[in-house]
Amino acid sequence: MKISALTGALKGRTDAIAVCLFEDELKSPKLSGLDRRTVSAFQKLIAASRFSGKHSETTVHFSDGAQAPVLVLQGLGSRRDFTWHRLRQSAGAVIRAAKSNEVGTLSIFSSEQFASDLSAENTARALTDAVVLGHWGFEHYKSKKKGHAVSQVSLYFGTSARQKAATAVIPQAQILAEAHNLAREYGTHPANVVTTDYLKAEAKKLARFGIKVTVLERAQLEKLGMNLILAVGQASVMPPRVIIMDYAPRAAKKTVAFVGKGLVFDNGGLNIKVAKMEEMKSDMCGAAAVLGAMHAVANLKPKQRVLGVIGACENAIGGNAFRPSDVYTAYNGKTVEIGNTDAEGRLVLADTMAYVVDKYKPNLMVDIATLTGAAKIALGNHADAVFSNSEHVSKQILDSAERAFERMWPMPLYEEYGDEMKSTTAMLNNAGKDRWGGACRAAAFLKEFVGTTPWAHIDIAPTSFPAVTNSLNPPRTANGSATKTLIELAMGA
C-alpha cells in the first residue's frame, strides 16, 4: 500500500473520497480541496442519512456527480472527547469501508477545524498506523478473499507546512504498522504451522539484513543447564529452542534486549486447560512481537545494539511430561518446584532471561509474554500490564507505548508478591497457593532471574488475542501487541 501526504485540491482520479468530521461541524463543514458538487453531495448525504458524526459512525454513498464514485462520511465524535485512539478507530472504519467496496485508491480529507486542533505529525502517524492495521485481514486458508486490496491512500493536509511535516513521518509509521501486522500473522497461524522450526526459520530470514542469528538447540540447552525450558518442552515432539537475533552496529554504546515468550501451543501440560485451549495458538505472541520488531530494526537501523531473543517450545502432554511437584534447577542455579504445569511461560522466560543477562549484560531488558489470565482479568481487552524493577524504565516503557499508540498500564511489584512464590521444598514455586494477584506474582517470579539488570515485563495476555472486535481488530485474530512499543524502544524513544 502506498501512503502519501498531499495538500490543496484533490489531485488525479480516485475511487473514493472519505471525509472525517467532528460532530459539531456537520452543519457547515469547511471542506477545502473538494469541488462544489462534491461538497454538496457530502452535505446532502449528511442530511439524508441522518448522520450524527459519532466516532464509530461510517456512511458510504455512491454518487455520479462528485469527484469520485464512492463517498465515505466518517464521524470523529465530539471534539472534547477526542483521543488518538478514537481517530485511529475512525480511520480503521474508513479503510474497511473502502476495502469492502472494492476501492483501489482512496483519498482522505478532514475539515479545517481538525487541522487547527491537531499536530500534522501525530495525525499522519495515527492515520498511517490505522490505515495499515485496519486494512489487515487473515485469509491465508480461504480460497475466496473478502473485499479488495486498497493500493493507494492519499492523506490531504490543509497547508503545505502540514503536508511536509506529515510526509516526513509516514514512511517510518508505515514500517512500524507493517511490523505490527507481521506479528499478527505469526500469532494467528495455528500451531501446526507456527512450530518451533517455523520460528527458527523466520528468525534466520533476518540474517540477510546483517542480523546475526544463533539458535541454542536441545543439546546446548542441556549443556548450559537451562532445565526449566527443557522441562516445559520435554513432552512435545517439537524441539525446544532459544533463538537469538543480534543486531549489533559497530558504534553501538548500549544494548537493549527483548525476550519473547514463544509457546507455540500451551495446552497446560498435565494441569490441562479446561477452557479456550484453542486460543493458545497465540501463546507465542511475545515472540511474534520480538520477530516483528526485529524486522523493523533491520529496516530502520537504530544506533544501539538490539537483541531479539525467543524462548520457543510447546507445553504438551505425554508420559514424558514434567509434573506438578517436580523440582528443576534453572540456568542461574535457583531451584524451582513445579506447582502448576500451566504456569510454564515464566519457566521459559526465567531460563532465557538469566542466560541473556549472563551472556550479554544488556543495559535494558524487556520481556514480552502472554503470561497470565490474571492480567486479562485485571485490565480486560484494552491495556497490557507493565512491571519493572526501576521507575525510570517503567516510565520509558509507558512513554514508548504512548508514542506507539499502544495502551499499557503500570502494575506493582511489592516484595510480598515475591514471598508468595517461595516453595517449601525448593527455593521457588512457579505458582502461588491461590489465585490472588496472579499477574503480580508471575512478575515477581521473573524478577528472581534478572539480577540487577534494569528490566521491564510486559504481560500482553490482555490484548494479544482480544475477545473484542473493532475496526482495527478482526474477529478471532492475534493483535500484534507491543510490537511497535518495542520498535520505539529500539529507536531510543
d(CA 253, CA 36) in angstroms, rounded, equals: 58
- Coil/strand/helix, residue 357: helix
* Size of interface with Mn ion, in residues (CB under 5 A): 3
Among residues 246 and 459, whose Cβ is nearest to Zn ion? 459
Residue showing the smallest CB distance to Mn ion in the complex: 342
Nearest by Cα to 110 from 133, 80, 92, 87? 87
- Residue 187 touches which of Zn ion, ligand BES, Mn ion, none (Cβ within 5-8 Å per kind): none
> Judged by CB under 6 A, does residue 431 bind ligand BES?
yes
Q: Which stretch binds ligand BES (CB under 6 A): 90-98, 181-189, 294-302, 366-374?
A: 366-374
The stretch near ligand BES (CB under 6 A) out of 45-53, 84-92, 143-151, 335-343 is: 335-343
- Please indicate whether residue 403 is annotated as part of the active site: no
Does residue 435 carry a catalytic annotation?
Answer: no
Which stretch, 120-128, 129-137, 371-379, 410-418, contacts ligand BES (CB under 6 A)? 371-379
How does DSSP assign 80-111, residue by residue? Answer: GG--HHHHHHHHHHHHHHHHHTT-SEEEEEE-
Report helix, strand or coil for 272. coil
Residue spans of beta strands (DSSP E) within 113-177: 152-157
Measured at the alpha carbon of residue 334, what is the angle toward residues 328 and 338, in degrees to the nearest 5?
Answer: 40
Rule CB under 6 A: is residue 463 a binding residue for ligand BES?
A: no
Contact 408, 461 (CB under 8 A): no
Among 438, 454, 466, 480, the residue binding ligand BES under the rule CB under 6 A is: 438
List Cβ neighbours of 104 (8 Å cut-off, separation of 6 or more): 15, 148, 149, 150, 151, 152
266 binds ligand BES (CB under 6 A): yes
- Choosing from 67, 370, 429, 481, the residue that interacts with ligand BES (CB under 6 A) is 370
Neighbours of 349 (CB within 10 A): 30
Closest CB 482 distance from ligand BES, rounded Å: 13
Q: Which of residues 267-326 bind ligand BES (CB under 6 A)?
A: 283
Q: Does 72 bind ligand BES (CB under 6 A)?
A: no
Please state, in angstroms and rounded to a whole number, the distance separating the CA atoms of residues 483 and 493.
Answer: 14
Amino acid type, 195: T
Instruction: Answer whether 443's CB lies under 8 Å from 413's CB.
Output: yes
The smaller minimum CB distance to Mn ion, of residues 147 and 373, is found at: 373
Selected binder of ligand BES within 340, 363, 390, 423 (CB under 6 A): 340
Contact (Cβ atoms closer than 8 angstroms) between residue 60 and residue 71: yes
Reported residue count of the chain is 493
Q: Give all strands of the β-sheet with 335-337 in edge-to-edge order.
A: 327-329, 335-337, 428-429
Residue 211: CB atoms within 10 A of its CB come to 22
Closer CB to Mn ion, 268 or 292, in the complex: 268
Place of cell 471534539: 79
What are the cell numbers at 35? Answer: 469541488
- Applying CB under 6 A, the site for ligand BES has a residue count of 16
Least distance CB 344 / Zn ion (angstroms): 6
Q: Of residues 129, 266, 337, 459, which one binds Mn ion by CB under 5 A?
A: 266
Given the complex with Mn ion, which of 337 and 342 has the nearer CB atom?
342
Binding site for Zn ion (CB under 5 A): 263, 266, 283, 345
Q: Among residues 29 and 437, whose Cβ is nearest to Mn ion?
A: 437
Taking CB atoms, the residue at the shortest distance from ligand BES is: 373
- Selecting among 273, 301, 334, 476, the annotated active-site residue is 273
Q: Measured between alpha carbons, how far is 381 from 468 in angstroms, rounded to an integer?
A: 7
Question: Least separation, in Å, of the C-beta of 377 and ligand BES?
Answer: 9
Residues that bind Mn ion (CB under 5 A): 266, 342, 344
Residues annotated as catalytic are 273, 346
Q: What does the binding site for ligand BES look like in residue numbers (CB under 6 A)?
A: 266, 283, 340, 342-345, 370-374, 376, 431, 438, 461
